[in-house]
């Protein structure tokens, strides 16, 4: 693969005016995270702004030039003071302790979804093996049938040394792929999915929110709690496969760009993790970027399931979803609403409640506000008006069609599953 297509030079040639989200962060020593008073903390704040590829490219290049100059000056200083090494070393540490914290800029979430603008880059990435590919039959996120920005599309990151991606799980605990374009390296920290509960407790103890907060775990705290941490270097050209639910945090040790996206292997463990995360998000009023009900019906429609455990979980979700749709429709009819059929269009995105951000599957409670049609879930609609007077109720898939999909979704243990 030709990764030079993602170098800052190529990006400049392709789309200099393209948007780049910037996170302004404080530069930390590689092993630690401090607050303004120099105390260790899990809080990791950054401020958000926007720039363009060309402007960030200029910053990245200047930062490199500046660092080169600094290194040369340091070298000169050490050679002249070599005889006096000890006091010099001590003085430097004192200087650093009193120096104001340096800031740096991280160019993040650069959207490479536009297939005409980024054609050569996307064609290059399609060379990757199917289990890592953005679009593949063996990738659950492909079966959504619509775009979820940054999940089933590519995002690019532009870094200088010290740029940090705070600790997180991917949306709905999906797996992800991350390629370091180089030339510099990144350092990764990762904790397996099984420890997410322990980490969440540590987060609460340290005053940060696991789901919504921005945090950088203290390694000593993790070791003390017997939580294993994988720590490794991602060199230029290295691909990292982040398993589903893995908690990870990353810092650049050199100047580099990265590209990343999510994948959903067709396995029971991935499906279960995603479902659990969807439920957890619901309880915490946090939006799930992957609409799991919609995805489950798509899986039932598109995939030949060969794994009994995955099949059973999918079937259970279908049953609950079908029963829920029936219940919601019955309620709407009981207050005298006529349900209007409104089939999905190709590539139509999944719907979310405008109030509580839950996925609204199949039965949409629509309110017209300022000539815009606003979707609500049944609960929020009822809270607004128990008789649903102002709402229009739309149904996207008929009960006959849902029943048909349910009936045709069978376990095929002796056949070959999706071909990767
Ligand atoms: Zn709602």
Distance 323 CA to ligand 1 centre (A): 19
Q: Per CATH, the architecture of 291-408 is what?
A: Ribbon (2.10)
Q: How far apart are CA 143 and CA 373, in angstroms?
A: 27
Q: Of 155, 168, 270, 284, whose CA–CA distance to 217 is shortest?
A: 168
Q: Which two tokens stand for residue 29?
A: 């020593």
CB-proximal residues (5 Å) to ion ligand 1 = 353, 355-356, 377, 380
Domain ranges of the chain: 3-263, 291-408
Q: What is the pLDDT along the chain (420 residues), one digit of tens a residue?
A: 999 999 999 999 999 999 999 999 999 998 899 998 999 999 999 999 999 999 999 999 999 999 999 999 999 988 876 544 444 444 444 444 445 689 999 999 999 999 999 999 999 999 999 999 999 999 999 999 999 999 999 999 999 999 999 999 999 999 999 999 999 999 999 999 999 999 999 999 999 999 999 999 999 999 999 999 999 999 999 999 999 999 999 999 999 999 999 999 999 999 999 999 999 999 999 999 999 999 999 999 999 999 999 999 999 999 999 999 999 999 999 999 999 999 999 999 999 999 999 999 999 999 998 889 999 999 999 999 999 999 999 999 999 999 999 999 999 988 776 654
Distance 386 CA to ligand 1 centre (A): 14
Distance 132 CA to ligand 1 centre (A): 34
In this prediction, residue 93 carries a pLDDT of: 44
Distance 368 CA to ligand 1 centre (A): 16
Say what the ipTM of the complex is.
Answer: 0.99
Distance 355 CA to ligand 1 centre (A): 5
Fold that domain 3-263 belongs to in CATH: Jelly Rolls (2.60.120)
Distance 46 CA to ligand 1 centre (A): 30
Domains 3-263 and 291-408 agree in fold: no
Pairing of strands 392-395, 339-341: parallel
Please write down the HEC assignment for all residues of 205-243.
HCCCCCCCCCECCCHHHHHHCCCCCEEEEECCCCEEEEC
Q: How far apart are CA 367 and CA 77, in angstroms?
A: 70
Q: Which two tokens stand for residue 205?
A: 């103890």
Distance 360 CA to ligand 1 centre (A): 8
In this prediction, residue 92 carries a pLDDT of: 42
In this prediction, residue 267 carries a pLDDT of: 97
Distance 376 CA to ligand 1 centre (A): 5
Q: Is 61 left (phi over 0), alpha (psi -120 to 50) or beta?
A: alpha
Sheet harboring 392-395: ordered strands across?
A: 339-341, 392-395, 363-369, 372-376
Q: How far apart are CA 380 and CA 390, in angstroms?
A: 13
In this prediction, residue 86 carries a pLDDT of: 46
């Amino acid at each position: 693969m030709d990764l030079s297509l993602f170098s800052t030079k190529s990006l400049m040639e392709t789309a200099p005016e393209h948007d780049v989200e910037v996170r302004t962060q404080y530069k930390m020593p590689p092993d630690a995270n401090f607050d303004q008073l120099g105390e260790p903390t899990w809080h990791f704040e950054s401020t958000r702004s926007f720039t363009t590829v060309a402007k960030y490219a200029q910053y990245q290049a200047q930062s490199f030039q500046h660092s080169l100059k600094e290194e040369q000056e340091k070298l000169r200083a050490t050679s002249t003071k070599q005889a006096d090494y000890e006091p010099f070393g001590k003085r430097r540490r004192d200087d650093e302790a009193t120096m104001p914290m340096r800031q740096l800029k991280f160019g993040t979430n650069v959207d490479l979804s536009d297939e005409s603008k980024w054609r050569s880059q996307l064609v290059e990435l399609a060379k990757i093996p199917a289990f890592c590919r953005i679009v593949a039959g063996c990738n659950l996120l492909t079966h959504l049938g619509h775009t979820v920005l940054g999940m089933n599309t590519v995002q690019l990151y532009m870094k200088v040394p010290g740029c940090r991606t705070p600790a997180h799980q991917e949306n709905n605990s999906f797996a992800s792929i991350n390629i370091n374009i180089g030339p510099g390296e990144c350092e990764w920290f990762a904790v397996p999915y099984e420890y997410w509960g322990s980490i969440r407790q540590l987060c609460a103890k340290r005053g940060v929110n696991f789901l919504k907060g921005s945090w950088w775990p203290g390694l000593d705290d993790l070791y003390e709690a017997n939580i294993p941490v994988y720590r490794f270097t991602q060199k230029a050209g290295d691909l990292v496969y982040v398993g589903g639910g893995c908690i990870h945090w990353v810092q650049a040790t050199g100047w580099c760009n990265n590209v990343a996206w999510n994948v959903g292997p067709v396995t029971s463990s991935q499906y279960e993790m995603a479902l659990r995360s969807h439920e957890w998000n619901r309880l915490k009023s946090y939006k799930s970027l992957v609409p799991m009900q919609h995805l489950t019906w798509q899986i039932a429609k598109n995939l030949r399931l060969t794994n009994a455990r995955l099949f059973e979980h999918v079937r259970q979700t279908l049953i609950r979803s079908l029963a829920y749709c029936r219940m919601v429709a019955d309620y709407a009819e009981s207050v005298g609403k006529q349900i209007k059929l409104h089939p999905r269009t190709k590539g139509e995105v999944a719907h979310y409640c405008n109030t509580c951000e839950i996925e609204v599957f199949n039965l949409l409670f629509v309110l017209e506000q300022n000539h815009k049609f606003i979707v609500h879930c049944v609960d929020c609609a009822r809270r607004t008006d128990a008789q649903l007077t102002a709402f229009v109720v739309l149904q996207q898939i008929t009960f006959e069609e849902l029943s048909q999909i349910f009936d045709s979704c069978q376990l095929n243990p002796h056949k070959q599953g999706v071909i990767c």
